[in-house]
């Protein structure tokens, strides 16, 4: 009777008195888990009706811990997580994440939870807590999913109410289901009439979160998707940010492709100058491939070295032919001791020409010591 009196006070709008009656009933009697969970949930409803999320935390926590079934535990977890999101207390949310991610959880159809997560993620992003902001934003369900799940769940609840009325087996369960119907119908109305579709801003926030967290590959892919499906207002910026992400990932082929796509699509775009400047810098920093270099040294006494190995002129002809034919990009350097007789140098030049090398770089060197070869 104590509980039903408190219920009557709550339904008549005397919320503060109802809370006192519920708390008095809990102190006076020991109730089974099923009824105790309903009492804690009712206390939380009184506080939430006054938009007092701080006071609702403790009864929600008690309902979460004592719930005898997954559905009520999930509802308590979602509402409790919503309360913690409003004050950015992320550590307190982690134990409830498995319930939040459960299939058909209240989080997947609660506009209060999803809007709280959006606001919390934005606040964390503003504080430069990028990884935490990304984690919170990824808890948000897409608008269309929330709408579809809410409509489907409302139909499901109405069927349960009709069945419970027909069976007349559990009055308290019937009352609980009717309250859920009212709450779900109110959320559905708010979703359809007061909340705009937030999918595009959400996708942009998640992509920026990836970018700020230096997860450039994921950020690039999400920005490209946003460019493809987003409105014209965000498509250009999304493509530019996709390029900015791609420019941080080696090799730069993807960045060049995205950059060219931007220049072709938005030749008078807002970020055209910035993008072309960055692309020019990227081209300027591409390391030049060092040519395949091969050195032939002619010593003072006329001896010939391929690298540091002595060779005869016939061996030189064969080596030069094989080396140059195997790799036409090979650059041949002919270096001679400055005291080498000209005729000896000429013999080596002729041998290289006979092997098919008519283009080489010639230079002279001074040995480290008298008579010492310095190949």
Confidence tier at 225 by pLDDT (50, 70, 90): very high
**What integer is the mean pLDDT of 250-266?**
90
Burial of 72 (0-12, 13-18, 19+ CB in 10 A): buried
Any residues with CB less than 8 A from the CB of 63 and at least 6 apart, and which? 37, 40, 41, 44, 72, 73, 76
- Average pLDDT for the chain: 87
Confidence tier at 210 by pLDDT (50, 70, 90): very high
Q: Is the pLDDT of residue 284 over 80?
A: no
The CA-based angle 332-335-339, given to 5 degrees, is: 160
Q: Is the pLDDT of residue 330 over 90?
A: no
**What integer is the mean pLDDT of 201-220?**
93
Q: Is the pLDDT of residue 299 over 90?
A: no
**What integer is the mean pLDDT of 298-307?**
80
Cα dihedral value 317, 318, 321, 322, nearest 10: -160
Is 0.75 topped by the overall pTM? no
Confidence tier at 373 by pLDDT (50, 70, 90): very low
**What integer is the mean pLDDT of 302-306?**
81
Between β-strands 293-298 and 304-306, what pairing exists: parallel, antiparallel or unpaired? antiparallel
Q: Is the pLDDT of residue 80 over 80?
A: yes
Could you tell me the sign of the dihedral formed by the alpha carbons of 100, 104, 108, 109, in that order?
A: negative
Confidence tier at 340 by pLDDT (50, 70, 90): confident
The CA-based angle 130-136-139, given to 5 degrees, is: 145
Confidence tier at 313 by pLDDT (50, 70, 90): confident
CA distances from 233 to 125, 200, 207, 270 (A): 22, 11, 16, 12
Question: Which range among 18-22, 140-144, 328-332 shows the weakest confidence by mean pLDDT?
Answer: 328-332
Contact predicate 188/154, CB 8 Å: yes
Task: Enumerate the H helices of the chain as residue ranges.
Answer: 2-11, 15-28, 33-49, 53-66, 70-85, 90-93, 97-100, 111-126, 130-137, 143-167, 171-193, 199-212, 216-229, 232-246, 253-265, 272-285, 313-326, 342-354
- At 349 the pLDDT is 84
- At 153 the pLDDT is 94
Instruction: Tell me how long the chain is.
Output: 375
| 112 alpha-carbon distance from chain centroid | 24
- At 372 the pLDDT is 38
Give the closest residue to 357 by CA, choosing from 306, 317, 313: 317
**Proportion of the chain above pLDDT 70, given as a percent:** 90
Confidence tier at 338 by pLDDT (50, 70, 90): confident
Plot region of 303 (φ>0 → left; ψ -120 to 50 → alpha; else → beta): beta
Q: Is the pLDDT of residue 370 over 70?
A: no
Confidence tier at 363 by pLDDT (50, 70, 90): confident
Q: Is the pLDDT of residue 133 over 70?
A: yes
- Cα 37 to Cα 59: distance, rounded to the nearest angstrom: 9
Contact predicate 316/325, CB 8 Å: no
Burial of 126 (0-12, 13-18, 19+ CB in 10 A): exposed
- Cα 307 to Cα 284: distance, rounded to the nearest angstrom: 33
- Cα 279 to Cα 44: distance, rounded to the nearest angstrom: 57
Confidence tier at 369 by pLDDT (50, 70, 90): very low
- At 374 the pLDDT is 38
């Amino acid at each position: 009777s104590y509980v039903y009196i408190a219920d009557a006070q709550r339904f008549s709008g005397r919320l503060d008195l109802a809370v006192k009656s519920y708390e008095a009933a809990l102190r006076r009697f020991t109730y089974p888990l099923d009824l105790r969970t309903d009492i804690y949930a009712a206390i939380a409803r009184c506080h939430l009706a006054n938009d007092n999320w701080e006071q609702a935390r403790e009864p929600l926590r008690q309902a979460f811990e004592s719930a005898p079934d997954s559905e009520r535990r999930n509802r308590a977890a979602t509402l409790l997580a919503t309360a913690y999101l409003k004050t950015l207390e992320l550590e307190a949310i982690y134990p409830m994440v498995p319930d939040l991610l459960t299939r058909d959880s209240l989080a997947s159809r609660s506009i209060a939870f999803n809007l709280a997560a959006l606001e919390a993620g934005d606040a964390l992003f503003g504080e430069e807590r990028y990884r935490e902001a990304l984690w919170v934003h990824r808890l948000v369900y897409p608008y269309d999913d929330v709408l579809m799940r809410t409509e489907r769940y409302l139909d499901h609840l109405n069927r349960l109410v009709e069945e419970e009325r027909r069976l007349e087996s559990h009055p308290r369960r019937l009352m609980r289901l009717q309250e859920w119907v009212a709450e779900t119908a109110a959320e559905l109305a708010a979703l359809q009439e007061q909340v705009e579709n937030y999918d595009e801003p959400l996708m942009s926030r998640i992509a920026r979160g990836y970018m700020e967290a230096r997860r450039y590959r994921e950020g690039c892919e999400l920005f490209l998707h946003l460019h493809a499906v987003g409105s014209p207002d965000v498509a250009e910026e999304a493509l530019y940010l996709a390029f900015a992400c791609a420019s941080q990932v080696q090799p730069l082929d993807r960045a060049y492709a995205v950059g060219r796509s931007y220049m072709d699509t938005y030749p008078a775009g807002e970020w055209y100058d910035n993008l072309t400047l960055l692309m020019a810098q990227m081209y300027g920093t591409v390391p030049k491939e060092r040519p395949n270099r091969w050195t032939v040294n002619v010593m003072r006494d006329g001896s010939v070295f391929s690298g540091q190995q002595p060779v005869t002129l016939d061996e030189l002809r064969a080596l030069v032919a094989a080396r140059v034919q195997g790799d036409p990009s090979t650059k041949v350097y002919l270096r001679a001791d400055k005291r080498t007789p000209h005729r000896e140098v000429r013999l080596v030049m002729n041998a290289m020409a006979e092997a098919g090398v008519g283009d080489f770089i010639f230079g002279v060197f001074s040995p480290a010591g008298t008579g010492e070869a310095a190949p």
